[in-house]
């Protein structure tokens, strides 16, 4: 005998709040400059989930006297898994056909997403949520992993605490609110402000996870523990505030007061989304750091504002619940919020390649329309048929045909499924054996063995000690020395073949050109030419450029290259300073790589910064021409 599904009355106001949350996230993911705190929509989702799931479990217990764990998990699986598996399949198919160099990187993400451990996998792999240089088409699934882990343990926790506390739900609400406060305190005290360097430079910015050093900010932002506060505060509200408390047929006198609370909460959510950031740039450096107010109580404030909004959203007679959040347009987006969240990020990423390529308004309109179409198809033909049981009934009909027409239909369906499965089978086979780490990463990694490390064990931002060098040049003069960052590193093999000694390193700052020049000058190894291509990662000032030129005063030609980093604010001011260098120094020449890259985007990867294979050759040719070789 099947257990009847327990439910609560439909709450359109919650769907409206979901709509606001998902649209905020979508806008934030399109262009952070439009809504810097739009990512807080995820926190609103957490609060809604904590409230709604706890409310469902309490309702089931009240109606039946028990909680069916199996029925709960089955409903969650039918709600979440079809669309997720569709997303994973479509993404794998696309990458197996058009982005095969990314398959090695994608494999771990797909497996982690499939088992709902995605957030912990990204923390462990140190694949930061704040990295704008990777394609990373499934990055947004970290929040689904948090929610699914919550769904696995929550019915067990609720059943246990209710067994201990009985009907004292008000007390339980206070306890769960206290737990949410403790989570906020934990995050605030665990957070490390300031710019993160290497684990040696800034050990306070790292935490040991089973003996493995991981970034503290990622652990707090992506980790289930640090983000559980919203779930607990939502659950706390469910213990003390339920729609069943009100007479649905007759308006209660408190509805206006609750509306005031709801409007205050909604205004708070909007203000926090408008004002808050995830990370911020340190002025004058280009480095980023966490946004302190977010981690020092900010998540808890969002939770409080969301709870205030929910009180009005679920009340049967408030203006917010019935007219504002419960309007048909918001309800439409709210009911499809899961699909919108799932599909929008890979659609955006496939178009722009990396998150730092912010969308224009027109790009956003087109890509959002595409996302909406995919979402609607998924909702109508995948999600709802599974949720309502129509898909299961269709499968049962195919398995047990009742007449010749059914048997013929079964043969056609089976044949169609076999044909349709060919591409996914190929795709997942490619995923299983793919070795790519991403085109940019592979290009850089392939060249790391051909560069000279003149300062030895240099790490970004760390001052090196001359004399620890691991170069193989055996003390001879370096006729052509090239100093660069990851852009130059991508072409290091070609430059080396052409007689250039390349010292290039990922994430290198302009300041290290001074360190290298001083060191090579001190050991009398400077030759005729020095090439400097930096500025991808941070600002430079005139004082630093002047200091670099001191050891290079006697070099015949110092060639500076302008930088092409269109998503970074330091690109233009850096290039202005570099272009002015020949007016001040007679031995300086400038190669305007910025202009060349603008005119020839076909030489760059999707991030519009790093060189593709053809671009590496052109880049090397331009440098050789500039030095007269």
Nearest to 531 by CA among 439, 459, 628: 628
Q: What average pLDDT score do residues 476-484 get?
A: 93
Instruction: Determine what percent of the chain falls in helix, strand and coil, rounding each to the nearest 5.
Output: 60, 5, 30
Given the structure tokens 């729609």, which residue do they identify? 243
Confidence grade of residue 463 (pLDDT, cut at 50, 70, 90): very low
Which segment of 84-98, 218-232, 422-436 scores lowest on mean pLDDT?
Answer: 422-436
Given a contact cutoff of 8 angstroms between Cβ atoms, the answer to whether 113 and 145 are in contact is yes
Q: What average pLDDT score do residues 133-147 get?
A: 93
- Condensed to tens digits (0 to 9), the pLDDT of residues 5-64 reads 556 778 899 999 999 999 999 999 999 999 999 999 999 999 999 999 999 999 999 889
Given a contact cutoff of 8 angstroms between Cβ atoms, the answer to whether 315 and 255 are in contact is yes
- Condensed to tens digits (0 to 9), the pLDDT of residues 530-540 reads 999 999 988 89
Check residue 230 and give its pLDDT.
97
* pLDDT score of 461 more than 60: no
Report the DSSP beta bridge partners of residue 256: none
* pLDDT score of 464 more than 60: no
Q: Where are the domains of the chain?
A: 12-388, 439-626
Given the structure tokens 């198919």, which residue do they identify? 93
Check residue 6 and give its pLDDT.
53
Nearest-angstrom CA–CA distance, 285 and 569: 11
Nearest-angstrom CA–CA distance, 590 and 84: 51
Confidence grade of residue 403 (pLDDT, cut at 50, 70, 90): confident
Q: What percent of the chain has pLDDT over 90?
A: 70
* Average pLDDT of the chain to the nearest whole number: 90
Q: Provide the 8-state DSSP code for 141.
A: G
Helix (H) or strand (E) holding 433: helix 422-433
- Condensed to tens digits (0 to 9), the pLDDT of residues 544-576 reads 999 999 999 999 999 999 999 987 888 999 999
Given the structure tokens 């970004």, which residue do they identify? 460
Q: What average pLDDT score do residues 600-604 get?
A: 93
* pLDDT score of 467 more than 50: no
What DSSP letter does each residue of 248-278 carry, written as one string?
Answer: SSS--TTHHHHHHHHHHHHHHHHHHHHH--S
The two structure tokens encoding residue 68: 């069916």
Architecture category of domain 439-626 in CATH: 3-Layer(aba) Sandwich (3.40)
Q: What does each C-alpha distance from 222 to 121, 218, 620 come to in angstroms?
A: 10, 6, 41
* pLDDT score of 475 more than 70: no
Given a contact cutoff of 8 angstroms between Cβ atoms, the answer to whether 536 and 575 are in contact is no
Check residue 553 and give its pLDDT.
94
Nearest-angstrom CA–CA distance, 491 and 336: 46
Confidence grade of residue 105 (pLDDT, cut at 50, 70, 90): confident
Nearest to 38 by CA among 16, 22, 18: 22
Nearest-angstrom CA–CA distance, 587 and 559: 9
pTM of the predicted model over 0.85: no
Which segment of 70-79, 96-105, 400-409 scores lowest on mean pLDDT?
Answer: 400-409
Non-local (6+) Cβ contacts of 85 within 8 A are: 114
Confidence grade of residue 413 (pLDDT, cut at 50, 70, 90): confident
* pLDDT score of 177 more than 60: yes
Given the structure tokens 């398995």, which residue do they identify? 399
Given a contact cutoff of 8 angstroms between Cβ atoms, the answer to whether 546 and 513 are in contact is no
Nearest-angstrom CA–CA distance, 368 and 374: 10
Check residue 286 and give its pLDDT.
65
Report the DSSP beta bridge partners of residue 560: 532, 590
Q: What average pLDDT score do residues 491-497 get?
A: 95
Report the DSSP beta bridge partners of residue 492: none
Check residue 465 and give its pLDDT.
39
Q: What average pLDDT score do residues 86-114 get?
A: 92
Check residue 285 and give its pLDDT.
64
323: exposed, middle or buried (Cβ count in 10 Å: 0-12, 13-18, 19+): exposed
């Amino acid at each position: 005998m099947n257990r009847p599904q327990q439910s609560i009355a439909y709450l359109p106001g919650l769907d409206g709040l979901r709509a606001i949350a998902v649209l905020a996230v979508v806008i934030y993911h399109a262009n952070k400059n439009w809504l810097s705190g739009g990512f807080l929509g995820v926190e609103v989702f957490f609060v809604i989930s904590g409230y709604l799931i706890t409310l469902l479990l309490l309702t089931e217990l009240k109606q039946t006297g028990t909680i069916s764990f199996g029925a709960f998990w089955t409903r969650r699986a039918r709600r979440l898994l079809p669309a997720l598996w569709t997303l994973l399949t479509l993404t794998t198919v696309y990458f197996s056909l058009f982005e095969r160099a990314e398959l090695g990187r994608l494999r771990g993400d797909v497996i982690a997403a499939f088992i709902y451990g995605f957030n912990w996998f990204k923390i462990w792999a140190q694949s930061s949520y704040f990295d704008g240089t990777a394609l990373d088409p499934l990055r947004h699934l970290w929040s689904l992993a948090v929610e699914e882990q919550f769904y696995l343990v929550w019915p067990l926790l609720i059943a246990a605490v209710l067994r201990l506390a009985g009907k004292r739900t008000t007390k339980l609400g206070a306890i769960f609110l206290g737990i949410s406060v403790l989570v906020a305190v934990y995050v605030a005290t665990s957070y490390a402000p300031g710019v993160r360097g290497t684990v040696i430079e800034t050990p306070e910015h790292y935490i040991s996870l089973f003996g493995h050093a991981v970034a503290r900010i990622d652990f707090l932002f992506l980790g289930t523990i640090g983000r559980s506060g919203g779930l607990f505060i939502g659950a706390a509200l469910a213990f003390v505030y339920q729609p069943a408390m009100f007479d649905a047929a007759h308006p209660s006198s408190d509805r206006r007061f609750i509306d005031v609370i709801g409007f205050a909460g909604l205004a708070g959510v909007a203000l926090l989304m408008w004002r808050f950031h995830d990370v911020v740039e340190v002025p004058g450096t280009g480095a980023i750091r966490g946004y302190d107010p977010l981690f020092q109580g900010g998540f808890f404030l969002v939770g409080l504002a969301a709870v205030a909004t929910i009180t009005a959203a679920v009340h049967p007679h408030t203006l917010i619940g019935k007219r504002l959040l419960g309007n048909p347009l918001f309800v439409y987006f709210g009911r499809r919020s899961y699909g919108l969240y799932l599909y929008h990020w890979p659609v955006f990423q496939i178009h722009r390649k990396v998150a730092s390529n912010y969308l224009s308004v027109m790009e956003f309109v087109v890509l959002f329309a595409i996302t909406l179409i995919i979402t609607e198809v998924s909702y109508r033909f995948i999600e709802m048929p599974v949720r309502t049981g129509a898909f299961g009934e269709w499968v049962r009909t195919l398995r047990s045909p009742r007449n010749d027409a059914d048997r013929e239909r079964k043969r056609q369906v089976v044949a169609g499924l076999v044909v349709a499965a060919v591409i996914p089978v190929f795709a997942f086979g490619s995923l299983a054996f793919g070795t790519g780490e991403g085109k940019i990463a592979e290009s850089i990694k392939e060249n790391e063995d051909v560069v000279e490390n003149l300062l030895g064990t240099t790490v970004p931002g760390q001052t090196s000690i001359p004399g620890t060098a691991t170069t193989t040049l055996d003390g001879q003069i370096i006729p052509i020395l090239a100093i660069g960052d990851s852009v130059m590193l991508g072409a290091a093999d070609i430059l080396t073949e052409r007689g250039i000694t390349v010292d290039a390193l990922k994430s290198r700052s302009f300041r290290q050109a001074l360190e290298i020049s001083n060191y090579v000058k001190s050991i009398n190894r400077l030759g005729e030419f020095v090439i400097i291509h930096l500025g991808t990662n941070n600002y430079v000032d005139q004082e630093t450029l002047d200091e670099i030129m001191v050891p290079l005063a006697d070099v015949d030609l110092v060639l500076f290259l302008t930088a092409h980093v269109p998503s970074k604010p330091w690109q233009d001011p850096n290039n202005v300073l570099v272009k002015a260098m020949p007016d001040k120094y007679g031995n300086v020449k400038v190669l305007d790589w910025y202009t060349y890259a603008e005119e020839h985007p076909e030489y760059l990867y999707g991030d519009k910064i790093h060189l593709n294979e053809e671009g590496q050759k052109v880049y090397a040719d331009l440098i050789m021409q500039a030095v007269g070789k």
